[in-house]
Amino acid sequence: MNRPADIRYLFEPRSVAVLGASADRSKIGYRLVENIVRGGYAGKLYPVNPKGGELLGQKVWRSLDEVADEIDMAVIAVPAKGTYQAVEQCARHGVKHVPIITSGFSEMGNAEEEHRIVRLAREHGMRVLGPNIFGVFSAKSSLNATFGPPGIQHGSVAIVTQSGALGIAMIGKTAVENIGLSAIVSVGNKADIDESDLLTYLMADEQTRIVLMYIEGVQHGERLVATLKQAAIKKPVVVVKSGRSKRGAIAAASHTGSLAGSDEVFDAIMRQCGVMRGESLEEAFNWCKFLAAAPTPRGENTVIVTNGGGIGVLATDASEKYGVKLYDDARLLKETFGSVTPDFGSTKNPVDLTGQAGPQQYDAALAAALASEHIDATLALYCETAIFDAQNLAGMIRSNADAYRKGGKPIVFSTLGGEMTESCIGVLRKESVPVFGEVYQAVSCLGALYRQRRHIAEYSDAVDEADIDIGLVEKAVASARAAGRTFMLPRESRELMRAIGVAMPQNAVAHNLDEAVKAAETIGYPVVMKIVSPEIIHKSDAGGVALDLENKEEVIDAYQAINVNARRYKPDARIEGVEVSQMLVRTTETIVGARQDKAFGPTVMFGLGGIYVEVMKDVAFRAAPLSRKEAQLMVKEIRSYPLLLGVRGEKRKDIEAVVDTILKLATLVRRCRAVSDIELNPLVVYDHGQGVKALDVRVLLSSSLSSND
Ligand code: ACO
């Protein structure tokens, strides 16, 4: 097994071969060679085809075996049945990267052949891109090794796409939008090279100012999270992911599982990494174009300048939605805009120049905002009026955009009107002036700029691991495993809670009526009783739970009823006894869960708990490991957070103990991969300083792993 080739050579190959180069203009093999030659690739090109000859002024080699030179990249465009042999040829030659254009592998069920190719490549230290891709473009090498459109504009946006067709369409879109690319890479089936490999290069590449990724599915999520965290502090990373629909949600045995619909988890983890997820491709493109050129704002004080009240209110709504902070110091706003606003206008934010404003009034107001040391960015809105002829619009926008660029302050324009206004937008966008027809799009761009700024300012790579007794954890896991179970019995869950330091109500398991009464009297009334049986997981459904038992008589009745109900529910169930436990005062009920997510590995969940958890869906997710600060943010993120702060004169709840519990579960599922799902529901939160208690704990184990895999 050789060391894997450096990913740099995928973007900066000194020599490129095309296997399947063809003189037939209708074939992909022709288009690849044409794009490489016409794109101005400065390295050495080796078209390969058994027929030999010449193609586009290049000698065609009959086989790679004829080539004496070292080859950094060999693009494969031969049919699927000949691909393995072509890769063998590359391996013999010591090629570093093999982008495989060819389709017909795992995407249509032929995973075995794909694995065989990757195995072969790995043995020789070769990296495989794809298969099932449209290729790679790298501005640094002037290399267009794709069968997409020619003449890709060079610039600072890098695109990584899992969909080939969408990628080719994106190249077209970037041309229309005048967005220059530093790279575009199609990852296809991601048999070997994935987004993390590419990000490693792109985050260090000086030419790339922003990375746009189109993702359909995540495979090595833990690695991706670590890479994204690093990348997003170096440059903005924008992602578009398909699959927001609920169909992807996992039907699991726990709340955590069913609440952790893959899209919610993806969304939360992208935020955790500081990655901005676009609602649509259009939004993502808008962000890329804007962020690639916008100056970094010094602060977040934003001012809206408008000639219409209605559009000003729309912009105010949009600002709230996208977290754009509107500057509201009335005195300073009056001082700044008083002299440029008519008496019947408004100097409050939005600054309303009124329908009477012409280009001069806009120039004066925008210049005042640019000159103010209290204003960090401007949102300029225009509604077409007879006073301000749209013919003069482009000039006003262009000159102010220029002044702001030189002044190092961001500005975004949104204009609304008829044909003239629309065509003005088209012309200015071609010139990369940030102007939008829809006010929400304009504000969304500013919001993205601030989010990126905030992320960098608040970023910390701290990880807070909790102090858990891993030996005891493994003992509890081993006990369940030895009995051939993939879930824990209450006593094992209790052991597990002891191992990670989460308190549970006082309890005892009674094997007969006398023991039940004795246990209740020792614990103190009121008590709760629950059936203990490995075959009865949903105890309430079985009538196996009795709450709030106040005295001996109630305990006796409940003991008998529980046993009868359980027998009726499942006559062959093994009944190991009845658990008697302290009945707690139930105050704020939360849920803390953790699981091994299919895509991202260890993840944690926090939310409002109790029986309504799945109805309310008021939950937050994060990937583990995480810092205390991230866990705190997670708690603050849920809609019901005010309940923890105390409502209607209640005391503040013990939020720190909740945060501790989240960190404990995060540490548990990271250090013990055999725990596939764990859920504390409800986790009752007491007043500040009085801690939390887990009333019910559900633990599922993976069926195949050893306890610490
Ligand atoms: N070395 C060099 N050349 C070879 C070899 C080899 N080992 N084997 C065959 N060739 C030559 C062939 O002789 C042929 O040359 P010719 O035109 O002179 O006869 C050339 O390679 C191409 O082979 P063909 O059999 O003609 O194959 P064709 O070009 O029709 O298809 C392709 C090959 C394009 C790889 C096809 O199999 C394929 O997978 N197409 C789909 C590609 C795709 O869509 N990828 C995903 C992109 S993303 C998206 O969806 C847009």
What is the residue with the minimal CA distance to atom 8 of ligand 1?
Answer: 78
Instruction: Confirm or reject: Cβ of 479 under 6 Å from ligand 1.
Output: no
Instruction: Confirm or reject: Cβ of 164 under 6 Å from ligand 1.
Output: yes
Q: Is the pLDDT of residue 705 over 90?
A: no
Instruction: Specify the DSSP class assigned to residue 465.
Output: -
Q: Is the pLDDT of residue 386 over 50?
A: yes
Q: Which of 28, 25, 23, 87 is nearest to 49 (CA)?
A: 23
Task: Choose which residue among 18, 25, 26, 27 to substitute to test ligand 1 binding: the one with the highest number of ligand atoms within 8 A of its C-beta.
Answer: 27
In this predicted model, what pLDDT tens digit does every residue of 38-73 receive, in sequence order?
A: 999 999 999 999 999 999 999 999 999 999 999 999
Which stretch of DSSP H or E encloses residue 6? Answer: none
In this predicted model, what pLDDT tens digit does every residue of 246-269 receive, in sequence order?
A: 544 443 334 444 445 578 899 999
Q: Which of 449, 447, 451, 302 is nearest to 374 (CA)?
A: 302
Higher pLDDT, 244 or 26: 26
Q: Which of 181, 149, 143 is nearest to 168 (CA)?
A: 149
pTM: 0.90
Which stretch of DSSP H or E encloses residue 683? Answer: strand 675-685
Q: Is the CB of residue 270 less than 8 Å from the CB of residue 277?
A: yes
- Look at residue 249 in the predicted model and tell me its pLDDT: 40
Task: Choose which residue among 18, 25, 28 to substitute to test ligand 1 binding: the one with the highest number of ligand atoms within 8 A of its C-beta.
Answer: 28
What is the residue with the minimal CA distance to atom 10 of ligand 1?
Answer: 20
Higher pLDDT, 337 or 176: 337
Q: Quote the tokens at residue 45.
A: 């090109």
Q: Quote the tokens at residue 420.
A: 């003239």
Distance of CA 81 to the CA centre of its chain: 37
- Look at residue 13 in the predicted model and tell me its pLDDT: 98
- Look at residue 257 in the predicted model and tell me its pLDDT: 45
Tell me the CA–centroid distance for residue 79 and ligand 1, in Å: 5
What gap in Å lies between CA 560 and CA 513, rounded to an integer?
8
- Look at residue 704 in the predicted model and tell me its pLDDT: 67
Task: Choose which residue among 22, 33, 113, 185 to substitute to test ligand 1 binding: the one with the highest number of ligand atoms within 8 A of its C-beta.
Answer: 22
Instruction: Confirm or reject: Cβ of 27 under 6 Å from ligand 1.
Output: yes
Q: Quote the tokens at residue 675.
A: 């725990």
In sign, the C-alpha dihedral spanning 208, 212, 215, 221 is positive
- Look at residue 657 in the predicted model and tell me its pLDDT: 98
> C-alpha distances in angstroms, 4 versus 9, 94, 196, 318, 488?
11, 11, 15, 48, 42
- Look at residue 103 in the predicted model and tell me its pLDDT: 96
| CB atoms inside a 10 Å sphere around CB 39 | 20
Please list, in sequence order, all residues whose beta carbon lies within 8 angstroms of the beta carbon of residue 387, skipping any fewer than 6 positions away. Answer: 355, 356, 357, 358
Q: What pLDDT band is residue 709 in, cutting at 50, 70 and 90?
A: very low
> Among 436-440, 448-452, 647-651, whose mean pLDDT is lowest?
647-651
Instruction: Confirm or reject: Cβ of 77 under 6 Å from ligand 1.
Output: yes
Strands (DSSP E) contained in 11-129 are 15-19, 44-48, 54-55, 58-59, 73-76, 97-99, 127-129
Helix axes 111-123, 80-93, angle to 10 degrees: 10
Instruction: Confirm or reject: Cβ of 76 under 6 Å from ligand 1.
Output: no
Kindly report the three-state secondary structure assignment for every residue of 321-358. Answer: HCCCCECCCHHHHHHHHHHHCCCCCECCCCEECCCCCC
Q: Is the CB of residue 211 less than 8 Å from the CB of residue 199?
A: yes
Q: How would you classify the pairing of strands 527-532 and 577-582? A: antiparallel
Q: Which of 477, 470, 464, 580 is nearest to 521 (CA)?
A: 580
Q: Quote the tokens at residue 657.
A: 């103990």
Q: What pLDDT band is residue 245 in, cutting at 50, 70 and 90?
A: low
Q: Please give the number of the atom of ligand 1 that sits closest to the Cα of 48.
A: 2
